[in-house]
Structure 1
């Protein structure tokens, strides 16, 4: 197991992944769909990922390809994929 990544970098990646999938994590928090503990757990899970550069490249490609991110599915190795998809699909 490798050391956890820098918290703020992974917070940013998580927010970008949410945006790419059409999930506003701040709004989800304010609506009570995720707790502070849920959010912290998602960040910690992201910090444990051993491929943050791959994530950044995927997110950059999504943003370039569409102008405004709107991916249907997240990067396959995303440790928060299921939670983000649940937040997105549960709010529709």
Structure 2
């Protein structure tokens, strides 16, 4: 798009009309970019990731609300720093982040994370790990 603006500016500066701007090439380039961006990631348009710190705390609150214990999971060897980092990264890319904030504000305890949560399975496994490690061995 910047290329189109630069070309248009050059043509206008030379005293030419807008009809002389090579639109066909520029429109083809713009269409190629739109097609490329819309097909990356399985046909979804790429969106910017959210703030790391905000999503770290959203994930901590989600774990607390669902009863998952990341500290116990780390102590039991289920969760390492790389896994936690990937969970935060998934949270940052989630499209449900605004509704997540509202859901966490309205909910004090839940048996599982809501369906749109990208970390739902990992939090459920973390919760199961905490329950199994707390259960007495007979």
Q: TM-score, normalised by structure 2?
A: 0.59
Mark the runs of 5 or more structure 1 residues left unpaired by the alignment.
64-69
What RMSD in Å do the two structures reach over aligned CA positions?
A: 1.2
Alpha-carbon distance between aligned partners in 2 of 1:28 and 1:89, rounded to the nearest angstrom: 10
**1:26 alignment partner, one of 55, 71, 81:** 71
Kindly indicate whether the alpha-carbon contact (under 8 Å) linking 1:21 and 1:73 is maintained by their aligned counterparts in 2: yes
Are 1:50 and 2:95 an aligned pair?
Answer: yes
Task: State the aligned residue count.
Answer: 86
Q: Any residues of structure 2 matched to 1:11-90 within 5 Å, and which?
A: 11-63=56-108, 70-90=109-129
Kindly indicate whether the alpha-carbon contact (under 8 Å) linking 1:15 and 1:24 is maintained by their aligned counterparts in 2: no
Larger RCO: Structure 1 or Structure 2 (Cα < 8 Å, ≥ 6 residues apart)? 1
Mark the runs of 5 or more structure 2 residues left unpaired by the alignment.
1-45, 132-138
Kindly indicate whether the alpha-carbon contact (under 8 Å) linking 1:10 and 1:46 is maintained by their aligned counterparts in 2: yes
Larger gyration radius, structure 1 or structure 2: 2
